[in-house]
Structure 1
Amino acid sequence: MDKLNYLFIPDKIFFTGEQLAEHWTAENYEIIGDSIVAFIGPCEISPNFLWDIKHRKKKTPIKSELMLHFLVEHFETDFEKAILRQKLLIHILKDKLNHRLGGDVLQRWGDDLFDGDAKLTIAAVVKTKVSTKIHVGVNISSKNTPVKTKGLQDYNLDPQEMAQAVMNQYRLDILKITEKIATTKSF
């Protein structure tokens, strides 16, 4: 991989889960190849797009009035690597948020970030026939959610600035991993 394409999409997009289909960014935004995109919009995930069996069994609705969404696609099908990349993205998000909040305010539990018992994120990773996809949604608004949440508005943080910071760091980390593979000799 030479580069990771990226874009902050200015359109407000309602995230339903259908964006986890392969080639969604190519078909809608002409971004070909591995990519990370970010956009802002509400979220309500249809039961048809609840890929995690535990979430399907709980039947807890997943919705938010307004979120910052990160959508990553890598054109390889190693699911374990995709899960590790998701954790990398969550860790980057946690670092960038905690830096702006002036300390170790947020904690990662599983695939999500919390401030005490208030949830900030949702996350999913899926494998398609030709790629792996990662979605991380960060609440902007904490109003009218099915569980206790906090959002970027609660911290007076700019979603677009956060999107750029997280996308830039993810791109850099993926590039550095690729460089490390190419420059490390084996014995």
Structure 2
Amino acid sequence: MATSPLRTRLLPARRTYDGTQIAAQWALRNLGIFGDSAVAFLGPCDVPTEALHDIEDRRAGEFLRAREMLHLIVEHFGERLDGAVWRQRILVTLASELLRERRIGVRRSGNDLFVGRRKLSVSIASCGALSAKIHLGINIDPAGAPVPAIGLARLRVPARPFARSLLSDYAAECSSALRAQAKAIAL
């Protein structure tokens, strides 16, 4: 379980998410961010089948593609996969709460968000020897998606302010959880 404050950053430049960002220490190697982090950026999504980290999707020959997404890359050191999946669900729930505040009829199913029958997001949680990683991709312009999809642009949600709010809310949730751990009296 993580014991250090979460560092957040919204990158100014666009980047393509291709699946390599889910590698351990991506934020350290590419951005100089040490420790637990949540990094957001805007850009296309283009993940071929062989780069997927979901066995069912890989076996089915699936791929990820969208013209423009908001990507969140989260890393927690010392975390197991079960904890990473719960953190992923919290992150997705926070995104849905922000959208509901805007009176958008969003529905969460596991780690995915939907508006009506159209998919708004993709997400994966995975673990390695060093850390747990989460990718949450929220469509802005879903053109090219392999399933019926919708994006923030169609919902009239400005992506960068939404990203800032989501990073802030997730960091606050992580900080609150650390505080809850620190103040608990052992059994």
TM-score by length of 2: 0.95
Q: Does the CA contact (< 8 Å) of 2:69 and 2:142 recur in 1? A: no
> Could you tell me which residue of structure 2 aligns to residue 66 of structure 1?
68
> Could you tell me which residue of structure 1 aligns to residue 163 of structure 2?
163
> Could you tell me which residue of structure 1 aligns to residue 100 of structure 2?
98
Q: Does the CA contact (< 8 Å) of 1:72 and 1:135 recur in 2? A: yes
Per-residue deviation at 1:111? 1.1
Which runs of 5 or more structure 2 residues have no equivalent in the other structure?
Answer: none
> Could you tell me which residue of structure 2 aligns to residue 151 of structure 1?
151
Calculate the aligned-residue CA RMSD, in Å. Answer: 1.1
Q: What is the distance in 2 between the residues matched to 1:152 and 1:166?
A: 14
Q: Does the CA contact (< 8 Å) of 2:4 and 2:36 recur in 1? A: no
Per-residue deviation at 1:47? 2.1
> Could you tell me which residue of structure 1 aligns to residue 181 of structure 2?
181
Matched, 1:109 2:109: yes
Per-residue deviation at 1:126? 1.1
TM-score by length of 1: 0.95
Matched, 1:53 2:55: yes
> Could you tell me which residue of structure 2 aligns to residue 119 of structure 1?
119
> Could you tell me which residue of structure 1 aligns to residue 84 of structure 2?
82
10, 13, 16: which one aligns with 1:14: 16
**1:128-139 equivalent positions in 2, closer than 5 A:** 128-139=128-139
- Runs of at least 4 residues off by over 6 Å: none
Q: What is the identity percentage for the equivalent residue pairs of Structure 1 and Structure 2?
A: 30
Which runs of 5 or more structure 1 residues have no equivalent in the other structure?
Answer: none
